[in-house]
Amino acid sequence: MGSIENLRPDAGPSKRTAGATRGAAGTLTGAALPAAERRIERRPLHEEVIDHLRDRIVHGQLTPGARLNERVLCEQLGISRTPLREAIKMLATEGLVELLPNRGAIVTPLKAANIADTLAVMGVLESLAGELVCANATEADLAEVRALHFDMLAHHARGDLAGYFRYNQLIHLKIIEASGNPVLTNTYRQLNANVRRARYMANLSQERWDAAVREHEEILAALVLRDAVRLKRLLAEHLEHKVASVMAALGGGAALA
Amino acid sequence: MGSIENLRPDAGPSKRTAGATRGAAGTLTGAALPAAERRIERRPLHEEVIDHLRDRIVHGQLTPGARLNERVLCEQLGISRTPLREAIKMLATEGLVELLPNRGAIVTPLKAANIADTLAVMGVLESLAGELVCANATEADLAEVRALHFDMLAHHARGDLAGYFRYNQLIHLKIIEASGNPVLTNTYRQLNANVRRARYMANLSQERWDAAVREHEEILAALVLRDAVRLKRLLAEHLEHKVASVMAALGGGAALA
DNA sequence: TTTTTGTATTATGAATGCAAAATTCGCCCC
DNA sequence: GGGGCGAATTTTGCATTCATAATACAAAAA
């Protein structure tokens, strides 16, 4: 995971022939589909770059405040500066990156105040989602949440924190998605990316972890019953605890390097 | 307003000398300031382009679904494709523009469902803002809102709808800003851009207009008293009416060309 | 007449080149 | 040894060029 994966099969774009290497690698979709339905489809490079950089930022491999040197990244990814710069601009709009005119871009520093503000907004979004999901979720949605819940329990039982976090995220996102409001989903997802970075630094205590799992049990129960009032309250409390945990890790107001 | 304003003094960048034309024209700030305080500051071209395009999209000069032809826009703005493409990518992240791989970009079509979803999210954001603003707003903030309110009244009295809209927007934004949560402000502002486009098509009836002004009177009163509960209710009702008005204009579910 | 296929044109995707701004580094001076 | 100053280097901003996909169009076949 820490290794640098080139987006292009041959690193270091050669003069005037780099374009010919497109479409040879694993970015193509539909390998498992029958030939008739297979869509030959190439994602634009800037999208690949965005996903790559977003991952590295969220997972903390690109640390807050770190500079994004265009030349270095180009070499690592085996692309030219144009798609890289487009990707950086988009990440800046998402808030994961900060543009310093004439001085490039840095990974947005993690400020406790900013995370707190973000979580406050996410709170009301979750509350709205709770209301909508009780009204709009299909039975299939609920089944999926339950399945994810058990996956999460499995990781918790094994003490696999990373796996737990992954399914925890998936559950929350699935609940938001099942609300049936795509704007809500996008907004939440975008804000969430910024918070996730902090999460990777917060060391969860076993007590807090166990408590979080219990809270999820209750959330699932309220969801299945489509008890909107109760669900909203549980989600709010759950987030409240998360805020406390993250804030404790970030240590009140200080910027994180 | 309909005329095309070049960002660069000379349209049609000449070969190899275009770079030398930077910094000569009206994009520089501070022409009216004393020399000592004048900040020689150039905004990056992509920012100028973003603002320009966002304005044209929000004001409906670039209609929903319209294609953004790079060559044409480059000629209109007197810039090269690189900063233009960066700007388009950023607008895509903001949701005002849609990228069609290998086929360029179009202004995001206005769909009633999407606007409804957006307004639902904005509703909970306003509600949060109402709560925060009662706790955090300074007296200066409140004074500014009141001043904007009277400006708005003046435009209403003159029957100047465009001016009314402008100050209406400013009031809502000021209330959000005064909440003291920058993340909330940004999120709201971004969502708002998408809705404003619809607003320019909705023809407000005189009755609805008068009612909206009365609602603003009440909102201001609750705000000055820092009555959070009442303010939240009033904002919610105000938005509810706005939803009805916008939805009526968009005509239930149909996409707008 | 309609459909299809080959070709010319146009537009987008990506890479490269060039100039200005910023940073680094060596130097001199204190 | 430390701190300013200026040249050299690096890095970014933007323009341009090259490559490829999409589209329009016309001719040929059904």
Which of B112-116, B185-189, B251-255 has the lowest average pLDDT? B251-255
- The residue with tokens 């929903």 is B64
Taking all residues of chain B, what is their mean pLDDT, rounded to a whole number?
85
Q: Is the CB of A22 under 7 A from strand D?
A: yes
Which tops the pLDDT comparison, B9 or B26?
A: B9
Per-residue pLDDT band at A40 (split at 50, 70, 90): low
pLDDT band at A36, cuts 50/70/90? low
Question: Looking at the C1' of nucleotide C12, which residue has the nearest alpha carbon?
Answer: B102
CB atoms within 10 A of CB A89: 25
Q: How far is the CA of A127 from the C1' of C28 (A)?
A: 66
Check whether residue B99 has its CB closer than 7 Å to nucleic acid strand C: yes
CB-nearest to A187 from B82, B99, B121 is B121
3-class state of residue B166 by DSSP: helix
Of A90, A124, A187, nearest to B128 by CB-CB distance is A124
Question: What contacts 24+ positions apart, CB below 8 Å, involve A202-210?
Answer: A202/A245, A202/A246, A202/A248, A202/A249, A202/A250, A203/A249, A204/A161, A204/A245, A208/A241, A208/A245, A209/A156, A209/A161, A209/A164
Which chain A residues are within 8 Å of B182, Cβ to Cβ?
A: 114, 117
- pLDDT value at residue B6: 58
User: Looking at residue B249, what is its pLDDT?
Assistant: 78
Checking if the pLDDT of B248 tops 70, the result is yes
- The pLDDT of residue B250 is 75
- CA A71 to C1' D9, in angstroms, rounded, equals 14
> Going by DSSP bridges, is the β-strand pair B67-68/A255-256 parallel, antiparallel, or unpaired?
unpaired
Confidence of residue B35 (pLDDT cuts 50, 70, 90): very low
Do residues B218 and B234 lie in contact, with contact meaning Cβ atoms separated by under 8 Å? yes
A102 touches strand C (CB under 7 A): yes
> Distances from the Cα of A7 to the Cαs of A23, A47, A86, B70, B89, in angstroms?
11, 11, 16, 27, 20
A118 with B186: Cβ contact below 8 A: no
What is the dihedral sign for C-alpha B195, B196, B197, B203? positive
Size of interface A-B (CB pairs under 8 A): 79
Distance of A183 CA from D3 C1′ (whole Å): 56
Query: Percentage of chain B surpassing pLDDT 90?
Result: 72
Average pLDDT over residues B190-202: 87
Residue A6: the pLDDT is 56
Q: What is the DSSP letter of B96?
A: S
Within 13 Å, how many C-alpha atoms sit on residue A249's CB side? 20
**Choice among A134-148, A209-223, B13-27, B93-107 with the minimum mean pLDDT:** B13-27
- How many whole angstroms separate alpha carbon A4 and alpha carbon A14? 19
Closest chain B C-alpha to A87 CA, distance in angstroms? 8
pLDDT at residue B245, as a whole number: 86
| Residue with the larger pLDDT of the pair B57 and B202 | B57
pLDDT value of residue A39: 63
Question: Using one digit for the tens of pLDDT, what is the confidence trace for A123-172?
Answer: 999 999 999 999 999 999 999 999 999 999 999 999 999 999 999 999 99
Instruction: Provide the pLDDT confidence category of residue B204 given band limits of 50, 70 and 90.
Output: confident
Structure-token pair, residue A235: 């989600």
User: What residues in A contact B43, CB-CB < 8 Å?
Assistant: 101
Burial A176-209 (b: 16+ CB within 10 A, else e): bbbbbbebbbebbebbbbbbebbbeeeebeeebe
* Segment A196-229, tens digit of pLDDT: 998 777 778 899 899 999 999 999 999 999 999 9
For residue range A3-19, what is the model confidence (pLDDT) as tens digits? 445 555 554 444 444 33
Sorted by sequence, the CB contacts under 8 Å of residue A13 that are 6+ apart come out as A78, A79, A80
| β-strand partners of A94 | none
Distance CA A13 to C1' D5 in A: 40
Look at residue A37 in the predicted model and tell me its pLDDT. 53
Q: What pLDDT does residue B201 have?
A: 73
3-state secondary structure chain A: CCCCCCCCCCCCCCCCCHHHHCCCCCCCCCCCCCCCCCCCCCCCHHHHHHHHHHHHHHCCCCCCCCEECHHHHHHHHCCCHHHHHHHHHHHHHHCCEEECCCCCEEECCEEHHHHHHHHHHHHHHHHHHHHHHHHHCCHHHHHHHHHHHHHHHHHHHHCCHHHHHHHHHHHHHHHHHHCCCHHHHHHHHHHHHHHHHHHCCCCCCHHHHHHHHHHHHHHHHHHHCCCHHHHHHHHHHHHHHHHHHHHHHHCCCCEEC
* Structure confidence at residue B93 (pLDDT): 97
Query: Residue type for A28, please?
Result: L
Mean local confidence (pLDDT), B162-191: 96
C-alpha B116, offset from chain centre: 17
Locate B95 and state its tokens. Answer: 């949701």
pLDDT at res. A200: 76
Residue-wise pLDDT for A44-98, tens only, equals 999 999 999 999 999 999 999 999 999 999 999 999 999 999 999 999 999 999 9
